[in-house]
Structure formats: structure tokens, C-alpha cells
Structure 1
């Protein structure tokens, strides 16, 4: 997410608290690619076009170190944002939040 968007969210909604769910990057990327292919094939795009568009637009979403750094510039961890791993949420949703 772009720093400007995070700053705007923080300014527009100053009392909002956020959850950022972190998923294992390879699983996240493969799931995203499958979804893009399914939706793209419904619109009759070739797999090559779908994958090229996905590569251009989606890979940064799994770069958590960059995203967390950007988020932490505007949202203070523990006060405005909480990071949660996806695995425990998926396997035990009730106890994952502690």
C-alpha cells in the first residue's frame, strides 16, 4: 500500500484501529494468481495476458517488510494497527486473536 494512502486513511479516520493479516507470501501469491486466472478466463483473456497483468500489479502485495515499514510511518503498532498471522486465524479463528 502506498504511503500516501496510509496517511490519508489515518487523517480521515483518526480513531480507527486496523488489522493487517499477514499470510505466508508464496501461498498468498499462488492464491492470488489462481483467482486472477479464474476471473480472467471468464472474460476470455489469455493466460499469458492474465499472468503478465498479475505480475505487474500483484507482487508488491506480498512484500510485507516494505508494506509494514510504510504502515508504521503513520499507524503506531499496538495502538492503531495490529499484525496477525493468517495461519492461526485459519486453523483456530476464535483463539487466534488472543
Structure 2
């Protein structure tokens, strides 16, 4: 099980650089180069919402469905790639747990 890392340029006026790590144990970590604090979430806290020419990645607090902890605006192709990486990590963990 290896973590997958990708760098995406977030659309918008500032063109921020997001370094995203998909950790196979069910965690996502986002470090925006231009900002100091990392964003973290468990896979089950993440939601993808299509918004025209982009996709919103939203992290919601687990017990409060309306409480948004953080969100990122991604290009559609980047959001699809990230969703696929998360899906593959979940499958990999499931296979590993079954084999144990």
C-alpha cells in the first residue's frame, strides 16, 4: 500500500497549487503551497459536487451533515482523477483486510 500524490492547479484568479496525497488507510491530505496549514479528511467525509466547468470537493464534519470543514474547487478532469485514486485506495485496503 503506497500513498498516491498528485499536484493540481486550482482554477481561479490566484491559481493555487494543491499537493494532494491519497493515503490508502482512508485519508486525504491537501497542502496548498501558498498557504501554511494542511487540510485533512477521511474518505467518508468527502463529497464531490459538479459545478458547471468545475467540481467542488467538500469535506463535511461526520456528525453534522451541513457543517463544511473545508472545500476546494477543482477542474473536472482533476476531480475525476482524484475520485478514481480514492476508489482504488479503498479497493486496495478492502483486499488487504480480506487477506488478513
TM-score normalised over the length of structure 2: 0.25
Say which structure is richer in strand.
2
Of the two structures, which has the highest relative contact order with CA contacts closer than 8 Å and spacing of 6 or more? 1
TM-score normalised over the length of structure 1: 0.25
**Larger Rg over CA atoms:** 1
